[in-house]
Structure formats: C-alpha cells, structure tokens
Amino acid sequence: MDSPKIGGIACVDWSTGSLVGPNARESVKTLGQMRGLFQNQNEFERMDLNTIIYRVQWLAPVPDGTEGGLFWGTTVIEPGRVGDEYFMTHGHFHAKRDRAEYYGCLEGKGMLIMMDTARRTWAECMEPGSLHYIPGNVAHRVANAGETQLKLTACWPSDAGHDYAAIRQEGFGARLLARNGESVLVPTR
Ligand code: 6PG
Ligand code: NI
C-alpha cells in the first residue's frame, strides 16, 4: 500500500480552514453570479461584477449524492457591502430537505441566517470559535458583518445536495443590513 504524505485525505490549516492536497476542490463566487440576490439593484449595477464575494474549498471523499457519506468544506467571505447589505453567500436549502449541517467560525465576524420552510427567519452570531448546528429543513446563508474576511468550516451529508432556486426566487425572510454602524437583521416584508 502507498503511504500517504499526510495522514488523511487532505491537510487543513486549523486556524484558517484552508485545505491543501490533491483531493481539495475549489469554487469562486463573483458578484456578477449573484444578480438579484441583493436588495439594492442600482448599487449592484454600479459595482464591479468581477468582485469576488466568496470562495469555497471542499473535500468529497465519496461521489455527490452518496447516502451515508460526509463532505467537508471551508468558505471564505470577503468583507464589503452592496449598498447597506453585507456580502453574503447565495444561501440554500439542501435538495434533500431534511439534511442537517455543522458550521464553525474560524475568523472574522458575521451572522448565520437561517429560514425554515414556513419562511420564519432567525440568525446566530458568528465569531471565532462559534459552532452552529443547522437542522434539516432549514435554509442557511452567512453574511460577513466585519471588516476582514469571514472564514467558516462546514460538514454536511454527501447526499444533501443544494436547492438554490427557492432562494433565488423568494430570498430569505430577512436581510443583514448596516444601520448606524451596526448590523441589523431586517425582515423583508
Ligand atoms: C453546503 C454548505 C456550504 C455552502 C457554502 C457556500 O451545503 O455545501 O452549506 O459548503 O455551500 O458556504 O454557500 P452557498 O452554497 O449558499 O453558495
Ligand atoms: Ni448547506
């Protein structure tokens, strides 16, 4: 048997969540790929659509959709705003709605915004060391309310999948906005 150079499927820098190794995959989300998600359309159109909003690195040791497996990933959200609204992830329900997930904050500060299938929306503060359990049937999105990158690590079932359409069409029931220098979760209607 080949002896691996590192003792596992990849190497993680536990302070930043950064994954290194041939199995680590990566994706980048630019502002242009998030059209329609931020409240202020005019401000959105005035900004550079190539601006990177967040990056995801992840490990998929089994094929996507495999029942019983687990994926691991790290998301790095840049600081910034579109108008009053903080840079954030797209947000999703899992395609298999009842699949849960863990999020842990490594660096930076922000909010984990969650919404159930009845559109009830709430949030938890993310700061280094905070660990968050996202129950099944709950959509999740992270907004960076700080002035530095927000880094979070996550673990989710390999058959969870992503349903982005519901969020693209209806959004969450609240948005994280800057109000007098504070971040406030403001209901959308
Ligand atoms: C998942 C996780 C997480 C998430 C990223 C980016 O289910 O895969 O929740 O890895 O995908 O933080 O967020 P979006 O998937 O909403 O773009
Ligand atoms: Ni998820």
Q: What is the pLDDT of residue 29?
A: 98
Counting from 1 in the atom list of ligand 1, the atom nearest the Cα of 58 is 10
How far, in Å, from the CA of 180 to the mean position of ligand 2? 31
Contacts (Cβ under 8 Å, ≥6 apart) of 125: 109, 110, 111
Mutate which of 38, 89, 159, 172 for ligand 1 pocket (most atoms within 8 A of beta carbon)? 89
In angstroms, the CA 53 to CA 28 distance is 8
Domains of the chain listed by start with CATH number:
11-187 (2.60.120.10)
Q: What predicted TM-score, i.e. pTM, was given to this entire model?
A: 0.96
Q: What is the pLDDT of residue 141?
A: 99
Average pLDDT over the chain reads: 96
What is the arithmetic mean of pLDDT over 39-49?
98
Q: What is the pLDDT of residue 109?
A: 98
What is the arithmetic mean of pLDDT over 148-177?
98
- 189 SS3 class: coil
Which tens digits make up the pLDDT trace of 68-121? Answer: 999 999 999 999 999 999 999 999 999 999 999 999 999 999 999 999 999 999
| 49 within 8 A of 142, measured Cβ to Cβ | no
In angstroms, the CA 132 to CA 138 distance is 13
How far, in Å, from the CA of 94 to the mean position of ligand 2? 6
Which tens digits make up the pLDDT trace of 15-35? Answer: 999 999 989 999 999 999 999
Whether 1 has a pLDDT exceeding 50, the answer reads: no
Label residue 160 by pLDDT band (50, 70, 90).
very high
Question: What Å distances lie between residue 116 and 94, 142, 184, CA to CA?
Answer: 12, 15, 20
Q: What is the pLDDT of residue 3?
A: 47
Does any ligand 1 atom lie closer than 6 A to the CB of residue 89?
A: yes
What is the arithmetic mean of pLDDT over 126-134?
98
Does any ligand 1 atom lie closer than 6 A to the CB of residue 90?
A: yes
Q: What is the pLDDT of residue 6?
A: 62
Q: What is the pLDDT of residue 189?
A: 73
